[in-house]
């Protein structure tokens, strides 16, 4: 079954097994060392068989799962019924000669900023989170170097690590790109850098727009989708209120339909007097999905979801 292993994994396995032939002592710790792999399987049973053989998945997408496996269990995982292949996780590093042009850092408008020093250039960081208190984000006088933060998550929560010695910051809501709010923007007011995450979250939830409505609605939503389908089954943990509120009870919550253009479909429905109960955006102005009121279809709620997958 070693034919299912890629050359990198095959080489590592041979290195481990040839230790006695080279006069090197057996080291159980080497066999227990876990390596990152991608496992391709032909059925859900193949994934379960691989897990039983020692594979620990942390990501599953269709018929491929990413995770780790001990070196000593590689052969057993590869030999599992339903497993098609086992490939190593490879890391790639871009050298400066590649990465600088890739982000257009050598563009004339960048190299001329600050007389060629780059001083004053605006740098964008895309990440799952940053430590706003890190010294790299602070000026020599202690004020922040961060111009703005854009939160693209549905949770809209903030956590802070580190220890601040002073200074304040303000969080503001500018609205959607297609419907920006006019000044003054709803904001939290000045918050000390020493504020706790809970205090910041409270300030976010207290922000109100000109009409007096809340602009941030935080929620932890747990959603699980079935692997096999169609039809696909979606399980949603109920919330205290709203579309996913406890008041709806257990049972069928909604039927989801793929849509090429959610915005256009909502416009058509609006012309018929039907407006969505909830619209879900990805980023500023990408309408991802919308929930229609149950009254629009014989007390059955519909969710229309874009076919375009987020990139």
Q: Which residues contact 161 (CB under 8 A, 6 or more apart)?
A: 131, 133
What is the phi/psi pair of residue 124, to 5°?
A: -100, 140
Sort 23 into a burial class: Cβ within 10 Å, 0-12 / 13-18 / 19+. Answer: exposed
pLDDT in tens, 14-62: 888 888 887 888 778 888 888 889 999 887 788 899 999 999 888 887 7
Mean pLDDT of 295-299: 84
Measure the CA–CA gap between 15 and 12, rounded to whole angstroms: 5
Tokens 């997408």 appear where?
61
Tokens of 123: 């740098």
All domains of the chain, ordered by start, with CATH?
2-88 (3.30.70), 93-121 (no CATH), 128-218 (no CATH), 227-306 (no CATH)
Q: What would the pLDDT profile of 177-232 be if each residue is shown by its tens digit?
A: 555 667 778 888 888 877 777 788 788 888 887 777 777 666 667 778 787 777 88
Confidence at residue 311, expressed as pLDDT on a 0 to 100 scale: 45
- DSSP annotation of 293 reads P
Average pLDDT, the chain: 79
Are 128 and 153 in contact, with CB atoms under 8 Å apart? Answer: no
Q: Which residue has the tokens 């909830």?
A: 278
- Separation of alpha carbons 266 and 269, rounded Å: 5
Give residue-wise pLDDT tens across range 277-294. 888 876 545 778 888 988
Of 128, 156, 150, the C-alpha closest to 221 is 156
- Contact criterion met (CB below 8 Å) for 28 and 110: no
10 Å Cβ neighbour count for 30?
Answer: 15
pTM exceeding the 0.75 threshold for the entire prediction: no
- Does position 146 have pLDDT exceeding 60, yes or no? yes
């Amino acid at each position: 079954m070693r034919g299912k292993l890629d050359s990198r994994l095959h080489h590592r396995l041979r290195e481990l097994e040839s230790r006695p032939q080279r006069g090197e002592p057996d080291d159980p710790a080497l066999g227990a060392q876990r390596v990152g792999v991608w496992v391709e399987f032909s059925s859900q049973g193949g994934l379960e068989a691989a897990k039983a053989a020692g594979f620990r998945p942390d990501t599953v997408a269709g018929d491929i799962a990413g995770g780790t496996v001990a070196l000593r269990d590689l052969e057993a995982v590869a030999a599992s019924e339903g497993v098609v292949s086992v490939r190593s996780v490879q890391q790639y590093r871009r050298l400066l000669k590649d990465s600088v042009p890739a982000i257009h850092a050598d563009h004339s408008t960048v190299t001329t900023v600050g007389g060629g020093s780059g001083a004053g250039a605006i740098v964008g960081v895309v990440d799952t989170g940053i430590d706003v208190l890190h010294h790299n984000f602070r000026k020599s006088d202690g004020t922040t170097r961060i111009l703005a933060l854009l939160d693209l998550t549905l949770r809209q929560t903030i956590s802070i690590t580190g220890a601040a010695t002073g200074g304040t910051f303000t969080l503001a809501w500018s609205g959607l790109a297609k419907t920006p709010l006019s000044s003054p923007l709803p904001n939290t007011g000045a918050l000390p850098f020493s504020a706790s995450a809970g205090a910041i979250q409270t300030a976010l939830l207290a922000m109100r727009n000109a009409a007096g409505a809340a602009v941030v609605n935080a929620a932890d939503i747990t959603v699980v989708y079935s692997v096999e389908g169609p039809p696909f089954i979606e399980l949603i943990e109920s919330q205290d209120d709203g579309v996913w509120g406890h008041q709806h009870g257990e049972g069928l919550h909604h039927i989801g339909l793929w849509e090429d253009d959610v915005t256009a479909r909502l416009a058509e429905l609006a012309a018929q007097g039907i407006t969505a109960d909830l619209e879900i955006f990805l980023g500023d102005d990408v309408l991802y999905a919308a929930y229609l009121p149950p009254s629009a279809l014989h007390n059955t709620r519909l969710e229309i979801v874009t076919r375009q997958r987020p990139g």
